[in-house]
Protein backbone atom coordinates (compact mmCIF):
# COMPACT_ATOMS: atom_id res chain seq x y z
CA UNK A 1 0.00 0.00 0.00
CA UNK A 2 1.29 3.53 -0.69
CA UNK A 3 2.25 5.56 2.40
CA UNK A 4 -0.46 7.67 3.98
CA UNK A 5 0.20 11.24 2.85
CA UNK A 6 -1.48 12.53 6.02
CA UNK A 7 1.04 10.86 8.34
CA UNK A 8 3.30 13.31 10.14
CA UNK A 9 7.02 13.09 9.59
CA UNK A 10 9.52 12.92 12.44
CA UNK A 11 12.78 14.85 12.36
CA UNK A 12 15.61 15.53 14.80
CA UNK A 13 17.81 18.63 14.90
CA UNK A 14 21.31 17.85 16.17
CA UNK A 15 23.11 20.63 18.04
CA UNK A 16 25.76 19.26 20.40
CA UNK A 17 27.62 22.53 21.07
CA UNK A 18 27.49 24.83 24.08
CA UNK A 19 24.78 27.24 25.22
CA UNK A 20 25.65 30.05 22.81
CA UNK A 21 25.45 27.87 19.69
CA UNK A 22 22.24 26.27 20.95
CA UNK A 23 20.61 29.69 21.27
CA UNK A 24 21.98 30.64 17.84
CA UNK A 25 20.16 27.57 16.47
CA UNK A 26 16.76 28.98 17.43
CA UNK A 27 16.20 30.90 14.14
CA UNK A 28 16.80 27.69 12.18
CA UNK A 29 14.50 25.69 14.45
CA UNK A 30 11.72 28.25 14.11
CA UNK A 31 12.20 28.43 10.33
CA UNK A 32 12.01 24.63 10.08
CA UNK A 33 8.83 24.38 12.17
CA UNK A 34 7.17 27.08 10.07
CA UNK A 35 8.33 25.64 6.73
CA UNK A 36 7.29 22.07 7.59
CA UNK A 37 4.12 22.31 9.72
CA UNK A 38 3.38 18.59 9.22
CA UNK A 39 6.69 17.50 10.73
CA UNK A 40 7.27 16.87 14.44
CA UNK A 41 10.75 18.09 15.43
CA UNK A 42 12.92 16.83 18.27
CA UNK A 43 16.27 18.29 19.35
CA UNK A 44 19.37 16.33 20.33
CA UNK A 45 21.57 18.54 22.52
CA UNK A 46 24.06 18.42 25.36
CA UNK A 47 22.43 16.84 28.42
CA UNK A 48 22.98 19.86 30.76
CA UNK A 49 21.02 22.04 28.31
CA UNK A 50 18.08 19.67 27.87
CA UNK A 51 15.85 21.55 30.32
CA UNK A 52 16.33 24.78 28.37
CA UNK A 53 15.07 23.10 25.19
CA UNK A 54 12.17 21.43 27.00
CA UNK A 55 11.04 24.73 28.49
CA UNK A 56 11.48 27.22 25.69
CA UNK A 57 12.01 25.63 22.28
CA UNK A 58 9.16 24.93 19.79
CA UNK A 59 9.89 21.19 19.56
CA UNK A 60 8.22 17.96 20.65
CA UNK A 61 10.94 16.12 22.55
CA UNK A 62 14.54 16.50 23.70
CA UNK A 63 17.22 13.83 23.27
CA UNK A 64 20.01 14.48 25.82
CA UNK A 65 23.55 13.83 24.58
CA UNK A 66 26.12 12.64 27.14
CA UNK A 67 29.39 14.16 25.97
CA UNK A 68 31.52 12.40 28.59
CA UNK A 69 30.33 8.97 27.50
CA UNK A 70 30.96 9.77 23.85
CA UNK A 71 34.50 10.91 24.64
CA UNK A 72 35.15 7.57 26.34
CA UNK A 73 33.89 5.75 23.29
CA UNK A 74 36.02 7.84 20.94
CA UNK A 75 39.16 7.02 22.96
CA UNK A 76 38.39 3.29 22.68
CA UNK A 77 37.38 3.35 19.02
CA UNK A 78 40.69 2.21 17.53
CA UNK A 79 40.90 -0.73 19.93
CA UNK A 80 37.47 -2.17 19.20
CA UNK A 81 35.48 -0.08 16.75
CA UNK A 82 32.83 -2.72 16.02
CA UNK A 83 31.97 -3.21 19.68
CA UNK A 84 31.89 0.54 20.30
CA UNK A 85 29.55 1.04 17.34
CA UNK A 86 27.13 -1.53 18.76
CA UNK A 87 27.25 0.23 22.13
CA UNK A 88 26.48 3.54 20.43
CA UNK A 89 23.52 2.03 18.59
CA UNK A 90 22.16 0.57 21.80
CA UNK A 91 22.60 3.86 23.64
CA UNK A 92 20.81 5.84 20.94
CA UNK A 93 18.04 3.25 20.88
CA UNK A 94 17.46 3.83 24.58
CA UNK A 95 17.44 7.59 24.18
CA UNK A 96 15.00 7.62 21.28
CA UNK A 97 13.42 4.45 19.89
CA UNK A 98 12.14 6.48 16.94
CA UNK A 99 13.72 6.06 13.52
CA UNK A 100 13.52 9.59 12.21
CA UNK A 101 12.66 10.46 8.66
CA UNK A 102 15.14 13.36 8.68
CA UNK A 103 18.09 14.53 10.75
CA UNK A 104 19.36 18.11 10.51
CA UNK A 105 23.03 18.10 11.54
CA UNK A 106 24.26 21.53 12.60
CA UNK A 107 27.68 20.44 13.91
CA UNK A 108 30.50 19.49 11.57
CA UNK A 109 32.36 17.08 13.81
CA UNK A 110 32.30 13.31 13.21
CA UNK A 111 30.17 12.32 16.20
CA UNK A 112 27.31 14.61 15.13
CA UNK A 113 27.43 13.29 11.56
CA UNK A 114 27.58 9.66 12.71
CA UNK A 115 24.68 10.20 15.12
CA UNK A 116 22.60 11.79 12.36
CA UNK A 117 23.09 8.79 10.07
CA UNK A 118 22.34 6.31 12.84
CA UNK A 119 19.11 8.07 13.80
CA UNK A 120 17.53 8.99 10.47
CA UNK A 121 16.85 7.79 6.96
CA UNK A 122 17.95 11.10 5.46
CA UNK A 123 20.53 13.64 6.69
CA UNK A 124 20.40 17.35 5.85
CA UNK A 125 23.27 19.70 6.61
CA UNK A 126 26.68 18.51 7.77
CA UNK A 127 27.52 15.05 6.46
CA UNK A 128 24.47 14.86 4.22
CA UNK A 129 26.42 12.98 1.52
CA UNK A 130 27.42 10.24 3.95
CA UNK A 131 29.55 9.88 7.10
CA UNK A 132 32.67 9.09 5.06
CA UNK A 133 32.00 11.21 1.98
CA UNK A 134 34.53 13.85 0.96
CA UNK A 135 31.81 15.99 -0.64
CA UNK A 136 30.59 18.77 1.66
CA UNK A 137 27.28 20.67 1.61
CA UNK A 138 27.68 24.26 0.30
CA UNK A 139 26.80 25.95 3.62
CA UNK A 140 29.07 23.58 5.54
CA UNK A 141 31.91 24.44 3.15
CA UNK A 142 31.19 28.14 3.64
CA UNK A 143 31.31 27.81 7.44
CA UNK A 144 34.62 25.95 7.27
CA UNK A 145 36.10 28.68 5.10
CA UNK A 146 34.84 31.43 7.39
CA UNK A 147 36.32 29.65 10.40
CA UNK A 148 39.71 30.14 8.77
CA UNK A 149 39.24 33.66 7.40
CA UNK A 150 37.28 35.02 10.40
CA UNK A 151 36.53 38.69 9.72
CA UNK A 152 35.50 38.28 6.07
CA UNK A 153 32.07 36.89 7.00
CA UNK A 154 28.80 38.81 6.58
CA UNK A 155 26.29 35.96 7.08
CA UNK A 156 25.46 35.45 10.74
CA UNK A 157 26.03 31.98 12.21
CA UNK A 158 22.34 31.67 13.10
CA UNK A 159 21.38 32.38 9.47
CA UNK A 160 24.05 30.00 8.18
CA UNK A 161 22.40 27.33 10.35
CA UNK A 162 19.18 28.11 8.45
CA UNK A 163 20.99 27.65 5.15
CA UNK A 164 22.51 24.40 6.38
CA UNK A 165 18.95 23.16 7.07
CA UNK A 166 17.64 24.27 3.67
CA UNK A 167 15.38 27.06 4.94
CA UNK A 168 15.51 30.85 4.87
CA UNK A 169 15.55 33.08 7.98
CA UNK A 170 12.14 34.25 9.16
CA UNK A 171 13.27 37.86 9.58
CA UNK A 172 12.21 37.84 13.23
CA UNK A 173 14.19 37.37 16.43
CA UNK A 174 13.10 34.20 18.29
CA UNK A 175 11.82 34.61 21.82
CA UNK A 176 11.93 32.09 24.62
CA UNK A 177 8.84 32.21 26.80
CA UNK A 178 9.52 30.80 30.25
CA UNK A 179 7.49 30.48 33.42
CA UNK A 180 9.39 32.16 36.27
CA UNK A 181 10.62 29.81 38.98
CA UNK A 182 11.47 30.52 42.60
CA UNK A 183 14.83 32.18 43.23
CA UNK A 184 16.90 32.21 46.41
CA UNK A 185 15.26 34.60 48.86
CA UNK A 186 17.88 37.35 48.51
CA UNK A 187 17.52 37.30 44.72
CA UNK A 188 13.73 37.39 44.64
CA UNK A 189 13.47 41.17 44.21
CA UNK A 190 15.45 41.12 40.92
CA UNK A 191 13.28 42.89 38.38
CA UNK A 192 10.44 43.32 40.85
CA UNK A 193 11.39 46.79 42.10
CA UNK A 194 11.67 50.03 40.14
CA UNK A 195 14.96 50.70 38.44
CA UNK A 196 17.04 49.99 35.37
CA UNK A 197 18.13 46.37 35.81
CA UNK A 198 21.29 45.22 34.00
CA UNK A 199 22.74 41.72 34.06
CA UNK A 200 26.55 41.62 33.92
CA UNK A 201 27.89 38.33 32.56
CA UNK A 202 31.03 38.01 34.64
CA UNK A 203 32.94 35.31 32.76
CA UNK A 204 32.96 33.30 29.54
CA UNK A 205 33.27 29.65 28.59
CA UNK A 206 36.40 30.51 26.62
CA UNK A 207 39.02 31.98 28.96
CA UNK A 208 40.38 34.17 26.15
CA UNK A 209 37.04 36.02 26.15
CA UNK A 210 36.95 36.79 29.88
CA UNK A 211 36.74 40.49 30.70
CA UNK A 212 39.13 41.42 33.56
CA UNK A 213 37.53 42.02 36.97
CA UNK A 214 38.85 45.62 37.30
CA UNK A 215 37.01 46.50 34.07
CA UNK A 216 33.75 45.22 35.53
CA UNK A 217 34.34 47.07 38.79
CA UNK A 218 34.92 50.29 36.84
CA UNK A 219 31.86 49.68 34.65
CA UNK A 220 29.51 48.99 37.58
CA UNK A 221 30.82 52.01 39.49
CA UNK A 222 30.27 54.38 36.57
CA UNK A 223 26.84 52.97 35.75
CA UNK A 224 25.51 53.12 39.32
CA UNK A 225 26.90 56.58 40.04
CA UNK A 226 25.52 57.92 36.73
CA UNK A 227 22.06 56.34 37.11
CA UNK A 228 20.65 56.52 40.68
CA UNK A 229 18.00 53.95 39.76
CA UNK A 230 20.50 51.53 38.25
CA UNK A 231 20.53 47.94 39.47
CA UNK A 232 23.17 45.30 38.62
CA UNK A 233 22.92 41.51 38.72
CA UNK A 234 26.13 39.49 38.40
CA UNK A 235 25.49 36.22 36.54
CA UNK A 236 27.78 33.29 35.81
CA UNK A 237 28.58 29.73 36.78
CA UNK A 238 30.15 28.49 39.99
CA UNK A 239 33.54 28.91 38.32
CA UNK A 240 32.95 32.67 38.30
CA UNK A 241 32.04 32.99 42.00
CA UNK A 242 35.54 34.13 42.94
CA UNK A 243 35.57 36.68 40.12
CA UNK A 244 32.23 38.07 41.26
CA UNK A 245 33.46 38.36 44.84
CA UNK A 246 36.56 40.20 43.62
CA UNK A 247 34.42 42.63 41.64
CA UNK A 248 32.22 43.38 44.66
CA UNK A 249 35.19 43.61 47.00
CA UNK A 250 36.57 46.51 44.94
CA UNK A 251 33.26 48.42 44.85
CA UNK A 252 32.41 51.28 47.14
CA UNK A 253 30.28 50.11 50.09
CA UNK A 254 27.78 52.80 49.04
CA UNK A 255 27.01 50.80 45.90
CA UNK A 256 26.81 47.25 47.23
CA UNK A 257 23.13 47.59 48.14
CA UNK A 258 22.35 47.93 44.41
CA UNK A 259 24.31 44.84 43.32
CA UNK A 260 22.95 41.28 43.43
CA UNK A 261 25.32 38.32 43.04
CA UNK A 262 23.70 35.34 41.30
CA UNK A 263 26.93 33.67 40.14
CA UNK A 264 26.95 29.95 40.87
CA UNK A 265 23.65 30.20 42.72
CA UNK A 266 21.14 29.48 39.97
CA UNK A 267 20.33 26.43 37.91
CA UNK A 268 19.46 26.93 34.24
CA UNK A 269 15.76 27.52 34.95
CA UNK A 270 16.57 30.12 37.60
CA UNK A 271 19.12 31.80 35.34
CA UNK A 272 16.41 32.18 32.69
CA UNK A 273 14.13 33.70 35.31
CA UNK A 274 16.82 36.22 36.27
CA UNK A 275 17.59 37.15 32.66
CA UNK A 276 13.89 37.52 31.83
CA UNK A 277 13.63 40.21 34.52
CA UNK A 278 16.37 42.57 33.27
CA UNK A 279 16.27 45.27 30.60
CA UNK A 280 19.89 44.86 29.47
CA UNK A 281 22.55 42.17 29.51
CA UNK A 282 26.21 43.08 29.01
CA UNK A 283 29.21 40.83 28.52
CA UNK A 284 31.55 39.12 26.10
CA UNK A 285 30.45 36.78 23.30
CA UNK A 286 29.17 34.06 25.62
CA UNK A 287 26.12 31.88 26.18
CA UNK A 288 24.28 33.90 28.86
CA UNK A 289 24.54 37.04 26.70
CA UNK A 290 22.69 35.26 23.87
CA UNK A 291 20.26 33.64 26.29
CA UNK A 292 19.39 37.08 27.67
CA UNK A 293 18.55 38.42 24.20
CA UNK A 294 16.36 35.38 23.49
CA UNK A 295 14.47 36.24 26.68
CA UNK A 296 13.83 39.81 25.57
CA UNK A 297 16.73 41.83 26.99
CA UNK A 298 18.77 44.24 24.90
CA UNK A 299 22.47 43.45 24.77
CA UNK A 300 25.76 45.29 24.88
CA UNK A 301 28.58 43.04 23.75
CA UNK A 302 32.34 43.41 24.09
CA UNK A 303 33.76 41.40 21.18
CA UNK A 304 37.51 40.76 21.12
CA UNK A 305 40.04 37.92 20.67
CA UNK A 306 38.43 35.57 18.12
CA UNK A 307 34.87 36.86 18.58
CA UNK A 308 33.49 38.61 15.49
CA UNK A 309 30.30 40.64 15.51
CA UNK A 310 29.22 39.60 11.98
CA UNK A 311 29.43 35.92 12.91
CA UNK A 312 27.94 35.71 16.38
CA UNK A 313 26.68 39.14 17.38
CA UNK A 314 23.47 39.22 19.47
CA UNK A 315 20.57 38.25 17.21
CA UNK A 316 17.77 40.77 16.80
CA UNK A 317 17.12 44.50 16.48
CA UNK A 318 18.78 47.21 18.54
CA UNK A 319 21.64 45.38 20.25
CA UNK A 320 24.93 47.29 20.50
CA UNK A 321 28.32 45.64 20.06
CA UNK A 322 31.80 47.06 20.62
CA UNK A 323 34.24 45.23 18.33
CA UNK A 324 37.93 45.45 19.15
CA UNK A 325 40.33 45.95 16.26
CA UNK A 326 42.95 43.48 17.48
CA UNK A 327 42.93 39.77 18.25
CA UNK A 328 44.44 39.90 21.72
CA UNK A 329 43.09 41.01 25.09
CA UNK A 330 42.50 44.77 24.74
CA UNK A 331 44.62 47.32 26.60
CA UNK A 332 41.72 49.76 26.89
CA UNK A 333 37.98 49.19 27.16
CA UNK A 334 34.88 51.23 26.18
CA UNK A 335 33.63 51.49 29.76
CA UNK A 336 32.09 54.97 29.77
CA UNK A 337 31.03 54.57 26.13
CA UNK A 338 29.02 51.42 26.88
CA UNK A 339 27.38 53.08 29.89
CA UNK A 340 26.40 55.98 27.62
CA UNK A 341 24.94 53.58 25.06
CA UNK A 342 22.63 52.06 27.67
CA UNK A 343 21.58 55.39 29.19
CA UNK A 344 21.55 57.65 26.12
CA UNK A 345 21.62 55.27 23.11
CA UNK A 346 24.72 57.03 21.75
CA UNK A 347 28.33 57.57 22.71
CA UNK A 348 31.57 59.18 21.63
CA UNK A 349 33.94 57.29 19.36
CA UNK A 350 36.30 54.93 21.15
CA UNK A 351 39.90 54.33 20.12
CA UNK A 352 40.63 50.74 18.99
CA UNK A 353 36.91 49.81 19.09
CA UNK A 354 34.08 50.05 16.55
CA UNK A 355 30.46 50.31 17.65
CA UNK A 356 27.87 48.26 15.74
CA UNK A 357 24.08 48.09 15.91
CA UNK A 358 22.15 44.91 15.10
CA UNK A 359 19.30 44.74 12.62
CA UNK A 360 17.10 42.09 11.01
CA UNK A 361 15.80 41.86 7.44
CA UNK A 362 14.73 39.16 4.99
CA UNK A 363 18.32 37.87 4.81
CA UNK A 364 18.69 37.56 8.56
CA UNK A 365 20.88 39.49 10.98
CA UNK A 366 23.22 42.32 10.01
CA UNK A 367 25.26 44.95 11.81
CA UNK A 368 25.81 48.57 10.84
CA UNK A 369 28.48 50.93 12.09
CA UNK A 370 29.33 54.59 11.80
CA UNK A 371 31.67 54.10 8.85
CA UNK A 372 30.02 51.15 7.12
CA UNK A 373 27.03 50.53 4.94
CA UNK A 374 23.98 48.99 6.53
CA UNK A 375 24.87 45.33 6.91
CA UNK A 376 25.93 44.77 3.29
CA UNK A 377 22.53 43.29 2.39
CA UNK A 378 23.55 42.87 -1.27
CA UNK A 379 26.48 40.70 -0.22
CA UNK A 380 24.28 38.57 2.00
CA UNK A 381 21.65 38.18 -0.72
CA UNK A 382 24.34 37.17 -3.19
CA UNK A 383 25.64 34.55 -0.76
CA UNK A 384 22.18 33.10 -0.20
CA UNK A 385 21.47 32.85 -3.91
CA UNK A 386 24.84 31.22 -4.48
CA UNK A 387 24.63 28.64 -1.70
CA UNK A 388 20.87 27.94 -1.70
CA UNK A 389 19.75 28.26 -5.35
CA UNK A 390 16.94 25.72 -4.86
CA UNK A 391 15.15 28.01 -2.38
CA UNK A 392 14.90 30.77 -4.95
CA UNK A 393 14.08 28.45 -7.84
CA UNK A 394 11.12 27.18 -5.81
CA UNK A 395 10.00 30.72 -4.97
CA UNK A 396 10.01 31.81 -8.61
CA UNK A 397 7.98 28.90 -9.99
For 143-179, how does the pLDDT look when each residue is reduced to its tens digit (9 = 90+)? 888 877 765 678 999 999 999 999 999 999 999 988 8
pLDDT given for residue 3 in this prediction: 44
- Band of pLDDT at residue 2, cut at 50, 70 and 90: very low
The residue-averaged pLDDT of 281-294 equals 97
pLDDT given for residue 67 in this prediction: 73
Is residue 5 over pLDDT 60? no
The answer to whether the CB of 322 falls within 8 A of the CB of 337 is: yes
The residue-averaged pLDDT of 43-53 equals 93
Q: Name the pairing type of β-strands 9-15 and 39-46.
A: parallel
pLDDT given for residue 209 in this prediction: 86
Give Cα 76 to chain centroid, integer Å. Answer: 32
pLDDT given for residue 196 in this prediction: 97
Query: What is the distance between the alpha carbons of residues 58 and 13, in angstroms, rounded to a whole number?
Result: 12
Query: What is the distance between the alpha carbons of residues 130 and 164, in angstroms, rounded to a whole number?
Result: 15
pLDDT given for residue 29 in this prediction: 97
- Domains of the chain and any CATH numbers: 9-165 (3.40.50.2000), 185-361 (3.40.50.2000)
* pLDDT tens digits for range 338-380: 999 999 998 888 999 999 999 999 999 999 987 654 446 688 9
pTM here?
0.90
pLDDT given for residue 85 in this prediction: 77
Mean pLDDT of the chain: 90
pLDDT given for residue 62 in this prediction: 93
pLDDT given for residue 82 in this prediction: 77
* pLDDT tens digits for range 84-138: 778 777 777 777 777 899 999 999 988 899 889 989 999 999 999 988 888 999 9
Q: In what order do the strands lie in the sheet with 196-201?
A: 259-261, 230-235, 196-201, 280-284, 298-303, 320-324, 353-361, 364-369
* pLDDT tens digits for range 298-342: 999 999 988 999 999 999 999 999 999 987 889 999 999 999 999
Residue 255 Rama label (left phi>0; alpha psi -120 to 50; beta) = alpha
pLDDT given for residue 6 in this prediction: 60
pLDDT given for residue 205 in this prediction: 80
Burial class of 57 by CB neighbour count within 10 A (0 to 12, 13 to 18, 19+): buried
pLDDT given for residue 10 in this prediction: 95
Amino acid sequence: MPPDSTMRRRAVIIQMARLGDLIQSLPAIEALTQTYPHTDFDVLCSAPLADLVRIGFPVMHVVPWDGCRWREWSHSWLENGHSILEMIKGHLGQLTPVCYDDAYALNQHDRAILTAHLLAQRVIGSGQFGPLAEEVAPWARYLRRIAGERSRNRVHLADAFCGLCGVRPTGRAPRLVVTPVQLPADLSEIGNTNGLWVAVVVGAGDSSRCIPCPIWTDWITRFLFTHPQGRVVLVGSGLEREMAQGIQGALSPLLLGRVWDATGRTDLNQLMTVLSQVAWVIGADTGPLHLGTALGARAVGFYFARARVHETGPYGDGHRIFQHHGRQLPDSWPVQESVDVILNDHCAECEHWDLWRSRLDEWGASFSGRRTENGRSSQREEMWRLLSPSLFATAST
